[in-house]
Amino acid sequence: MAGISMTVASIQPGKMEEAYKFIDTQSHLVSTIEGMTGFAVAATGDNELTVIGVYESTAAAAEASPVVQGVFSEMASLMAAAPERGVFSGVWFS
C-alpha cells in the first residue's frame, strides 16, 4: 500500500496567496524525497491549507517528516498555528 501524509495548516488571514506561492517554490523537493511520488494542496477552509503527500510506503512518508517540518518552519511567518501532520496507509489512484 501507498503511504499518504496529510498536513493541515492554519494560515494567517490574508496570507493564503503568499502561502500557495511559497509551497510552489518548494515543489522541487518532490524529486529529492526518497519514496515520494507527488503531492497536492487544497484550500480546506478560508484560512486553511491541506497538503496531501503520496509515497511508496508509510515508512517513506514517516521518514520525510524532517523535510516537511523544515518547509513548514520556513512558513512560520504565514502560519496562525503549528501544522498537524498524519501518516496513513492507503491507495493512490491516478
pLDDT for the residue numbered 29: 86
Q: What angle do CA 15, 20, 26 make, to 5 degrees?
A: 125
Enter the pTM of the model. 0.91
pLDDT for the residue numbered 30: 83
Structural domains of the chain in order of their starting residue, each with its CATH number: 2-87 (3.30.70.100)
pLDDT tens digit sequence for 20-68: 999 999 989 888 999 999 999 999 999 999 999 999 999 999 999 999 9
pLDDT of residue 94 exceeding 90, the answer is: no
Residue in 25, 5, 17, 10 with CA at minimum distance from that of residue 83: 10
Across residues 2-30, what is the average pLDDT? Answer: 95
The owner of cell 518547509 is 71
- Whole-angstrom CA distances from 50 to 9, 39 are 6, 10
In whole angstroms, what is the distance from residue 75 CA to residue 19 CA? Answer: 7
